[in-house]
Structure 1
Amino acid sequence: MGRRRLGLALLTVVAIAGGGVAVTALTGPRTPAPDRADGKGLPPATAPVTRGDLADSTQQDGTLGHLGERKINAGGPGGTLTWLAPPGSVVRRDERLYEVDGEAVRLMYGDEPMYRTLRTGDKGKDVRQLEENLAALGYTGFDVDEEYTAKTAAAVKRWQKSHDLKQTGTLGPDRIAFAGSAVRVKETGSGSGSGGGDRVAVGDRATPGSPVLTVTGSEKVVSFKVPAAQAGSAKTGTRVQVTLPDGTRLPGRVSAVGRAATAGEDPQDRTPKIDITVSFDEPAKAEGVDQAPVTVDLTGTTRRDVLSVPVNALLALPDGGFGVQVVEDGAARDVRVELGMFAQGRVEVSGGGLRAGMKVGVPS
């Protein structure tokens, strides 16, 4: 029977549909192969039909680090810096960020900046943020809303008493600073990035609005880029395995996907790419220095409990469709098959009475 063997160089165009991947077109040279590789009609080599899970995965190079770099600026009237949270430390709600003239400025969680001194009668989102933090710390007795009431002021006084402060019932940027969550101190001052940056130290003068600390998010994440055409392989929620520099493999998921494609910095590769962020299931296990290289395995579609054969076992049949050469009892026969997912150098096959353990012909 005339047929054409599909070599590894053959290109397959696949379309994802119904949770699987099916061949929709085949291109490239199709040189006829001999019907039989030896006098007995047997192929030069065989491989087993296997049953198991087949996962469509890709591998990307990523970088271990922290996201959300921002500045913590000095509030209040200014003064001398008498203490700074050290680089590498993590500051959580109600913990000290820095001290001016011996007075601590503490972290509270929220996206609105602390731009004014809050007092009874004030209204706004910053009021709600403050009340949410007070409630989270156990200073309750008020409604969490956008109005600073006498009950809010009473809770503030209790907070002030717990920190040995004058109990005024008012609270301003000389006492607290807002950030979205716990922060990790990257460096002091405005850092040393592309803008030059200025470091500060204990004993320096802090003026209102001047950078005191550069901070990031507290949890380790992985960042990498994928070509815009492959963005579908890294949708939010996609499961991944991250291999750290020491070989440790940790599970995680895609937590953020960039909205705009940008050209890379490599002049040899200006392909538009999308920024991808991966969060770990157990961030505490993601040890290692910042900016360390890691490998990310993206798990795409998984086909459970299917039969598969090596891709190079496929035959293009003369009358259309595809088949494999089954070898049994010292003889070979061609069997038509239906194709499913292509992954890991294998292809899902069904039909023709195939079962796990059968041998199919492959090139030597």
Structure 2
Amino acid sequence: MTSSPKSRRQILVGVASLAAASLGVGVVAGARITSPEDAAAKTAAPKASQITVPVEKKALSSKVVGRGDASFDGAVNIRVETSGLTTPAIVTGKVPAVGSTIAEGKALLEIVGRPVIALAGVLPMYRSLAPGSKGPDVLQLERTLDRLGFDPGSVDGKYDSGTARAVRELYEQAGYDAPEAEQQLKDAADAAKKNTDAAKKALRQAQSQLKQAKDAKAPDLTVQKGAVEDAKEALADAREAQDDAELKAGTPLPVAEIVYVKSLPRRVDKVNVERGGTASGAVMSASGAALVVTLKVDAAAGENLKPGMAAILTLGDGSTVNAKVKRATRKGESYDVVVAPNKLNAKQLEQLRDANVRVTIPVKSTSGKVLTVPLAALSAGSDGASRVEVLRDGKTELVPVKVGLSADGFAAVTPVGDAKLGEGDQVVVGR
């Protein structure tokens, strides 16, 4: 069967269309086929680029920051040595209230009608003192009296008439009669004075007899002169005995009437006695009159802290109080740091009482603004010297620097020698 020309044309057009379609499918499939090399290239991480930050000019200040608990400084237990009393140690008055202040040279308590006077000192009162006593406790007493303005004479560790006089003045200022010596000592002093008076009278009589003999022009005055010399020696002995007796009868210091505390004034925290009760053991506990804040810091930070350094306390309402470091005491791998406020008003005192507050202690600071870079920008060369990597015109350059104060993640730097580094330069901190 012979096809017509029209049929042949239709067949040719169909074949062409089919070929074109096949070609298109092949092109698309070819585009989607990727070689292993091309696939690896497309999935590899992009080439690393530098992360840079600009060099800045600013002031740096390193500081120790922590939280501390507020309390009254240095709590101690106060004990009265009552073993020297001949009667029970009954509390008869002057019982302090919690929160009151123990002042040096004032009575903090009354026992059997006598004051217990507080003095500052490290050696406790362990015995009664009296004229003739010697030792380190007497020396402490004399130094204390002298510091308070009561002149004890020679500060030599010997309880003499000057010490006794100063003790009397201490009691008078505290508002009490001074202690008295035992009656037999006072009687001995009175008897010694009478002996001195008798010796004076005997000397006057001997001198009068010698004068009468001279007036009578007696040929021999040996007896009369001898009597005068004997009377003079007797008077000297009587006076020496009187001085010794009066010294012994001087103002004593009973062991139960003085309490030494390491430092004063202090605040009464707790009272363990009441009027009419018996004093035994710790009669009260007291802390420093001044409020302080105590915080714990690690050894590295604590080593840089010294007494007198300025500090800042941040109160609960966000306000601040200026303070100073009072002491920093190492405890193993840490330090206990005590900070004392400079001055507190009534509101601040109430806010601080038993509070936990933020404490900031500036340690070092730069003198004004200096060139600074992040700590991450610093590296060390083979010689151990510090350097930074600066990106300039697409290229990096190592710049040697001298590193100063570091604080808050930044370090003060100074270019070394002819090296150039300025504000705004881009330093590499990572890739």
TM-score, scaled relative to structure 2: 0.59
In the alignment, the residues of structure 1 paired with residue 98 and residue 362 of structure 2 have an alpha-carbon distance, to the nearest angstrom, of 35
Q: CA deviation at 1:292?
A: 1.6
Decide whether the 8 Å contact of 2:55 with 2:425 is kept in 1. Answer: yes
Q: Is the 8 A contact 2:328 2:337 kept in 1?
A: yes
For 1:123-142, what aligned pairs fall within 5 Å after superposition?
123-142=134-153
Partner of 1:280: 340
Q: Which runs of 5+ in 1 are unaligned?
A: 1-30, 38-42, 190-199, 262-272
Separation in 2 of the partners of 1:138 and 1:222? 33
> By how many angstroms is 1:176 displaced?
1.8
Shift in CA distance, 104/49, structure 1 to aligned 2, threshold 3 Å: same
Q: 1:80 aligns with which of 91, 94, 110?
A: 91
- Taking the aligned partners of 1:119 and 1:161, their CA distance within structure 2 comes to 18
Answering whether residue 246 of structure 2 is matched by residue 186 of structure 1, we say no
Which residue in the other structure is 1:344 paired with?
A: 408
Larger Rg: 2
Aligned residue in 1 for 2:421: 354
SS at match of 1:206: coil
How far is the alpha carbon of 1:150 from its aligned partner?
A: 1.6
Trace 1:148-167 onto structure 2 (pairs within 5 A).
148-162=159-173, 163-166=175-178
Query: What displacement does 1:355 show?
Result: 3.6
Which residue in the other structure is 1:202 paired with? 275
Give the SS at the match of 1:145: coil
8 Å Cα contact 1:47/1:310 also seen in 2: no
CA distance in 1, matches of 2:359, 2:303: 15
Counterpart position of 1:253 = 325
2:360 to 284, 292, 297: 297
Distance 1:172 1:317 in 2: 72
Matched residue, 1:5: none
Whether contact under 8 Å (2:379, 2:388) holds in the other structure is yes
**How many residue pairs end up in the alignment?**
296
C-alpha distance in structure 2 between counterparts of 1:216 and 1:114, whole Å? 20
Deviation for aligned residue 1:232: 2.6
Which of 213, 227, 252 aligns to 2:298? It is 227
State how far apart, in whole Å, the 2-side matches of 1:323 and 1:361 are: 7
1:7 alignment partner in structure 2: none
Give the equivalent residue in structure 2 for 1:216.
Answer: 287
Whole-angstrom distance in 2 between the partners of 1:355 and 1:277: 40
How far the C-alpha of 1:332 sits from its partner, in A, is 6.4
Describe the shift of the 1:164–1:51 C-alpha distance in structure 2 as closer, same or farther (beyond 3 A).
closer
Shift of residue 275, structure 1, vs aligned partner: 3.7
Do the aligned residues in 1 keep the contact of 2:64 with 2:301 (CA within 8 Å)?
Answer: no
Q: How far 1:316 moved relative to its partner?
A: 6.2
State whether residues 391 and 428 of structure 2, in contact with CA within 8 Å, keep that contact through their aligned partners in structure 1: no
Letter in 1 for 2:328: A
Task: Say which SS state the counterpart of residue 276 (structure 1) adopts.
Answer: strand
Distance 1:132 1:72 in 2: 21
Contact persistence 1:109–1:178 (CA under 8 A): yes
Deviation at 1:206, TM superposition (A): 1.7
Residues 62 and 295 in structure 1, CA contact (< 8 A), matched pair in contact too: yes
1:95 aligns with 2:167: no
Q: Share of identical aligned residues, percent?
A: 24
Instruction: Tell me how far 1:129 sits from its aligned partner.
Output: 2.0
| Separation of aligned partners in 2, 1:318 and 1:174 | 73
CA contact (8 A) 2:311 2:362 kept: yes
The equivalent of 2:49 in structure 1 is: 34
Tell me the secondary structure at the aligned position of residue 205 of structure 1. coil
2:295 maps to amino acid:
F
Amino acid at match of 1:297: T
RMSD across aligned C-alpha pairs, in angstroms?
3.4
Unaligned runs of 5+ in 2: 1-45, 181-250
What amino acid sits opposite 2:64 in the alignment? T
Bigger share in strand = 1
The residue type equivalent to 1:151 in the other structure is: G
Q: Which runs of 4+ in 1 moved over 6 A?
A: 315-321, 361-364
| Contact 1:326–1:332 (Cα < 8 Å) also in 2 | yes
Change (3 A) 1:289 1:346: closer
Q: Which amino acid aligns with 2:61?
A: A
Q: For residue 4 of structure 1, what is the aligned residue in structure 2?
A: none
What's the secondary structure of 1:63's corresponding residue? Answer: strand
User: Deviation digits for residues 1-47 of structure 1, max 9, x if unmatched?
Assistant: xxxxxxxxxxxxxxxxxxxxxxxxxxxxxx98415x8xxxxx6xx55
Task: Give the aligned partner of residue 25 of structure 1.
Answer: none
Cα pair 2:378 2:388 within 8 Å, conserved: yes
Go from structure 1 to structure 2 and tell me whether the alpha carbon gap of 1:316 and 1:152 turns closer, same or farther (over 3 Å shift): closer
